[in-house]
A = this chain, B = another copy of it.
């Protein structure tokens, strides 16, 4: 079986990505990146997701981005709550982590070289998160071009394929795909500001988009929410 590195965050999108990688016949090597984010809850969610989808090879890399700062997810900035769709459409959100996907894909590329994988899965999504520059198709294409130049395998004529299967899907389509493939979304955590028990706030952008996704998919929202 061919191996693929799957970036796994513990969120809904990357869990779906992992299920897709398995369906496409890959033996996944899951890469968890602890990037100084405030919600380590995500990482235990990621391990639970990997176990439930039969992907026992899980690697964790720690990157301490606090010295860089610049995001509500890594620095001491409040996560905005109760924003409308219009607010979200207005620009790059404060939860944007500078150059995050460049970094995540760089780590995934290094791991891919070491384990002999030529395929990398990342759960970016251009529809819901249009505010994040590094979730666009052009970014993924540029990284794939870089990967061929950046690696020993590339020098030897091999090519890496960056899979972003959720790129053009709505949240509802992602959820429908995952449910078809047996993803247990109760294990996933998407909230930017979960409580100590890992329960979702229900009010940040990520919670709002996720909640609407379940509605649009006609599926039961299995998210554990904190009491308001």
Chain A contacts with B in 127-141, Cβ cutoff 8 A: 133-134, 136, 138-139
Is A90 at the interface (CB under 8 A from chain B)? no
A61-B65, A103-B103 known; A133 and B110 CB under 8 Å?
A: no
A: residues with CB less than 8 A from B are: 59-65, 67-70, 92, 96-103, 105-107, 109-111, 113-114, 133-134, 136, 138-139, 142-143, 145-147, 149-152, 154-155
Partner of A110, one of B62, B97, B114, B143: B97
Contact of B139 with A152 in the complex, beta carbons under 8 Å: no
CA distance A143 to B145 in the complex (A): 9
Measured CB to CB, the closest approach of chain B to A173, in angstroms, equals 24
Q: Number of copies of this chain in the oligomer?
A: 2
Measured CB to CB, the closest approach of chain B to A176, in angstroms, equals 29
Contact of A134 with B149 in the complex, beta carbons under 8 Å: yes
Contact of A65 with B149 in the complex, beta carbons under 8 Å: no
Q: What residues on B are CB-neighbors of A150 within 8 Å?
A: 99, 101-102, 133-134, 139, 142
A111's nearest neighbour on chain B, judged by CB, is B68
Contact of B62 with A114 in the complex, beta carbons under 8 Å: no
Measured CB to CB, the closest approach of chain B to A58, in angstroms, equals 10
Q: What residues on B are CB-neighbors of A60 within 8 Å?
A: 67
A103-B103, A109-B98 known; A142 and B149 CB under 8 Å?
A: yes
Q: What residues on B are CB-neighbors of A113 within 8 Å?
A: 70, 98-99
